[in-house]
Amino acid sequence: MANINIIDIVAVLMMVTSFAVFGLRQYRHSIQAYAVQTLLLVIIFLALYFKYGTHELLIWAATAFVIKVLFVPLYLMRLVKQLNLVVEDEPVGGFFISPVVALSFSLAVAMMLYKVFIHFSLFQDVLPLYAASFIFMMGIFGFILRNSFLKQILSYCLFENGIHLSLALMAYSSHELVEIGILTDAIFAVLIMSVLAKRFYAAYGSLDTSKAVNLRG
C-alpha cells in the first residue's frame, strides 16, 4: 500500500515539474526542473520494481539516471552557458496565456487517453498512466506554443519522458533493445537539435523561432 502511494505521489510531482519545465522563464530553472522530473521518473521505475519485482525496470532506472538525469541536463546547461542565454523569448500568446492553454488542453486530452490505455496496460496504476499522457501532451504543446528553440528541445525531452513512463507501465516486458533504441534516438535528437540551435543563434542572433520565416508559401 505504501508503494502505491509513493508511485501516485511521484506521478503527481512529475506532472507539476512538467508544468515547471514548460512555464519557467529562466532557462537554468527550466533545465533543473527537467532534471528533477527525470529523477522522479527514475524513482517511479524503482518503485514499480519493488512493487512488482520487474527486473527490467531496475536497468531502465540506471540508464535513465545516467543519460537523462545527468548527461542531458548538463549538456543543455553547457549550451545555455555557451550562448550566454538567461530568459526565454516571448511565447505564442504571451507568458501567462500559453501555460494556461497547455495545462487545460493537456489535462483534457490525458483524461481521454488514459481511459483507453488502462485497458491494455501491464500495470493498472491509474495516476501514473494519466501522468504519462499529461506529460506527453505538455511536451507537444511546448513545441507548439513556445518560440524559444531551447524550450522546444526541452519540450522534446518532456514528451520523451511521457513516452518513457508509458513504455514502463504498458510495455516493460518488451525486449531491452527496444528501450535502448528509443533512448539512443532521444540522445541523438537532443544533440542534433542543440547543434542546430547553435547555428540558429549564429544566424538569427537569438533562439526565437518565430523569426524563422524565410521559407514560406
Partner 1 sequence: MDILVLILTVPFAFGMIMFVMPLRFKLLQNLHIVFSVIVSTLLLSAVGKVVNAEELSIFHNYIFLDSLGAIFLSLIAITGLLVNVYATTYMKWELEDGHIDIKEVKNYFALSFIFTWTMSLSVLCNNIAFMWAAIEATTLASVFLVAVKKDKKSTESGYKYIVLCSIGLAFALYATILLFSAANGKIDGEAMLYTNLLANAVNLDSVALKLVFIFALIGFGTKAGLAPTHTWLPDVHAEGPAPTSALLSGILLKCAMLGLVRYYAIVANGVGFDFVQTVMIVSGTLTLFISAFFLIRQHNVKRMFAYHSVAHMGVIAFGLGVGGAIGLFAALFHCAAHSFTKALAFCSTGNIARIYGTKDMTKMGGMIRIAPLTAVLFGIAICSLVGVPGFAIFVSEFLIFKAAAIGEQYLLMGIFAIALAIIFIADFSHFFLATFGKVEGEVVHNSEMKFSENFPLIALAILIVAFGIWQFDSFTFLLDESVKSIMKK
Binding residues vs partner 1 (CB under 8 A): 116-117, 119-122, 136, 139-140, 143, 149, 152, 156, 159-160, 163, 166-167, 170-171, 173-175, 177-178, 181-182, 184-185, 188-189, 192-193, 196, 199-200, 202-204, 209, 212, 214-215, 217
Complex with partner 1: residue 12 or 182, whichever CB lies closer = 182
Q: How far is the CB of 113 from partner 1 (least distance, A)?
A: 8
Is the distance from CB of 31 to CB of 154 less than 8 angstroms? yes
| Residue 101 vs 170, nearer CB to partner 1 | 170
At position 31, the amino acid (one-letter code) is: I
| Closer residue to partner 1, CB minimum distance, 130 or 159 | 159
Nearest approach, Cβ of residue 33 and partner 1 (Å): 20
Cα–Cα dist 31/52, whole Å: 31
Q: How far is the CB of 152 from partner 1 (least distance, A)?
A: 6
Q: How far is the CB of 83 from partner 1 (least distance, A)?
A: 14
Q: Check residue 89 and report its DSSP letter.
A: P
Cα separation of 146 and 59, whole Å? 34
Answer for the pair 49, 40: CB distance below 8 angstroms, yes or no.
no
Q: Which is nearer to partner 1, 8 or 160 (CB)?
A: 160
In the bound state with partner 1, the residue whose beta carbon lies nearer, of 55 and 119, is: 119
- Round to whole Å and give the CA distance between 10 and 125: 12
C-alpha cell at position 17: 515539474
Interatomic CA distance for residues 19 and 34, integer angstroms: 10
